[in-house]
Chains A and B, each alone.
Chain A
Amino acid sequence: MNQSGPYVVRPGPEAFLPPAAASMGNALPDPGQAHINGRIVPEEEAFEEAARMFLGGTVPTIFPGPLVLWAWNEKAKKKAKAIKFLYDTLKECAPQDAKPMLIPMPDYRPKYPKINPEVEINPNHPNLTIWHNKIDVCMFVGVHCHQANLSLKIIRGGTTCYTIAMCAQAGHEDACLSFRDASVEKIMHLAEWVKKLKGAVPFGALKKHVAALESKDRVGGTRN
């Protein structure tokens, strides 16, 4: 580690092989906190920001992973219902021209010659699904942490997609925004924020937000 954080984590395309944010000095949030672009913030601030990103996107997408797709315990079943509720809320509250999607990540097998990007995303080639569906903001939930980090970094490296992680463990530095200790309550709370901000975020606002972030980076010089 040759640099103390925070390294600004924002949508790419960043580099042929972008660095892992943890290796740039970014730390994970403590309980009750989240991070936005690598900056540690109170969790509530991140809920609002995540809702704004979702509502400001043209194709806001939720990627549920195996930990919530399969009914391997009662908690998983409840989380799956909460995620469906969040998706339905997103459809209800997103601007008229937005196209919310729910695309599963059912497993992590390398699939060749390639996955079908219409119906799934795979952590080993996430860009295919992002590019094909023109996804500009997405949320990972229920994905094992190693696979999520892998995928989040590849997405940052090669796409313009804003990434959100709703992580059940310690969070993800490689997402543009990350929660930790994800629970049914937290997923429902994000849905509440989406409802609360309905109509308050113009269609396509995400693009302007990202441009502003890039401009700030150029001025501040915090992104190497």
Chain B
Amino acid sequence: MDSHSIIGTKNKKGQTFTDPYHLFFEAQRIPSFFTGSEVIKEAIRRASVDLMVAYPITPQSEAAALIGELYAEGYVTDYMRGENEFGVMSECAGGSFGGARVFTTTAGPGTMRAMENFPMWSGARLPIEMIVTCRGINSPLSIQPDTLEIYFLLETGMLVWHAETAQDFYDWILMGFMVAEQPDVHLPIAICCDGFFVTHTKDVVNLTPADMCLPPYDPYRSPVPCMDMECPPVRMMRDPFIMKSNYISYATHASWQQEVRAAIERSRKHTIPLLHGLIETENTDAEILIVSSGTAVSQGREAIRLLADEGLRVGLVKIKSLRPWPYHEIREATKHAKHIFVPEFNVAGWMAREIKSTIPDSDRVVVGPHVAGGMTMPPEVIVEHIQRTLGKSVATLAGRGS
């Protein structure tokens, strides 16, 4: 099937298969007031998804259930409930091996439980789209927002994007399929957002028309054959290279891994025009920059406004794509900065580590402020962190009640 030849025709729900560029950038947008979970549903309504596999885990449960409604309405071809997240991701693999466009959602401990599948998806070149509504992964149990799980995804061979807003989320869910399914990319994609902050709050989101949808996935453009028990990648599972001890077997395996990383790099060419760059910047000529991703960027924007009131000019770098990593873009955007602050919703500070390994004079990076375990990050906390680093004496926000 040539997916381009059906542009302009209608699916069984009467939606018109639409050229993606037209859908994203030219079609009328309808302002709507939705939660992030509802936004996931509305994006999938327009995504020509063949298979969704669901399993409940907060905060993605609502989205998974809403897509069940789409199945009942006939917008999603098939809908299955997995026995746990490992089962979900394995079932997603089966659907994708068979040539279907596959979508799923997960969060926190679910992501961790399913982890073995993600490098397998990448190695098998399965362009599955997975929504990650990030939450705490540790014990004692937390269901609250925390971005530590993203760090575990970074070297799985998946594309990883981190949305700041529900609008990002809506657009990127649709765009993600188009990038992930390119034959020179053809990798799974994790589109992450900060759970609750995005999924359970309402925002005005400009939706594309409900009577337009993406063209379907064309499995015949896949860089590997569709499921075939005599060919890799399926054959790999019962006769893997690692079972043979010789140089060429190992070299093949290593080349396989390199090819997955190469495919991540190739996705730049397709991603940059859709996302308008892998990063977004404001006032990067300022001596102080806030650099982060997700809702930490939103808090950063407010902190910048508060600091401007005090006469301090601060710039912003919003990182949209974590894999591929915007190496050159970050180096360029931070070249004037003397202090680079990296606010994060996790205890590890992985984003700061990534940035430190990217830029020259990495001692310019000020790690933090951090919050974790579901804490909010009021903009005043970022302001306080910046002012203290600059040598100013400020009272901590935490002492306000005393």
Distance (whole angstroms) from the CB of A214 to the closest CB of chain B:
23
B231→A109 contact, CB < 8 A: yes
Distance (whole angstroms) from the CB of B3 to the closest CB of chain A:
14
The 7 residue pairs across chains A and B that have the minimum distance between CB atoms: A145-B223, A22-B262, A20-B262, A146-B223, A170-B184, A169-B183, A20-B258
Complex formed: what's the CA distance from A4 to B332 in Å? Answer: 13
Known: A1-B265, A4-B328. A124 touches B224 (CB 8 A): no
Chain A residue total in the interface (Cβ 8 A): 38
CB pairs A–B below 8 angstroms (27 shown): A1-B325, A1-B327, A17-B255, A20-B258, A23-B258, A27-B266, A28-B184, A28-B269, A107-B230, A107-B231, A108-B231, A108-B232, A109-B232, A110-B236, A125-B252, A144-B222, A144-B223, A144-B224, A145-B184, A145-B186, A149-B259, A150-B252, A150-B259, A158-B251, A169-B221, A169-B223, A174-B262
A124→B259 contact, CB < 8 A: no
- Contact pick for B241, options A17, A124, A145, A174, CB 8 Å: A124
Chain A residues, CB < 8 A from B252: 110, 123-125, 150, 154
Chain A residues, CB < 8 A from B230: 107, 109
In the complex, B261 has a CB within 8 A of chain A? yes
Residue of A nearest to B231 (CB): A108
In the complex, B324 has a CB within 8 A of chain A? yes
Residue of B nearest to A158 (CB): B251
Secondary structure class of chain A's binding surface, majority of residues: loop
A19→B258 contact, CB < 8 A: yes
Distance (whole angstroms) from the CB of A15 to the closest CB of chain B:
11
In the complex, B248 has a CB within 8 A of chain A? yes
A149→B248 contact, CB < 8 A: no
Chain A residues, CB < 8 A from B236: 110
Chain A residues, CB < 8 A from B262: 20-23, 149, 173-174
In the complex, A222 has a CB within 8 A of chain B? no
A153→B182 contact, CB < 8 A: no
Chain B residues, CB < 8 A from A171: 184
Distance (whole angstroms) from the CB of B256 to the closest CB of chain A:
6
In the complex, A127 has a CB within 8 A of chain B? yes
Distance (whole angstroms) from the CB of B217 to the closest CB of chain A:
15
Residue of A nearest to B244 (CB): A112
In the complex, A147 has a CB within 8 A of chain B? yes
Distance (whole angstroms) from the CB of A10 to the closest CB of chain B:
18
- Which B49-91 residues have C-beta < 8 A from chain A? none
A110→B222 contact, CB < 8 A: no
Complex formed: what's the CA distance from A4 to B328 in Å? Answer: 9
B248→A124 contact, CB < 8 A: yes
Complex formed: what's the CA distance from A25 to B327 in Å? Answer: 11
Distance (whole angstroms) from the CB of A142 to the closest CB of chain B:
12
Complex formed: what's the CA distance from A153 to B325 in Å? Answer: 23
Chain A residues, CB < 8 A from B222: 144
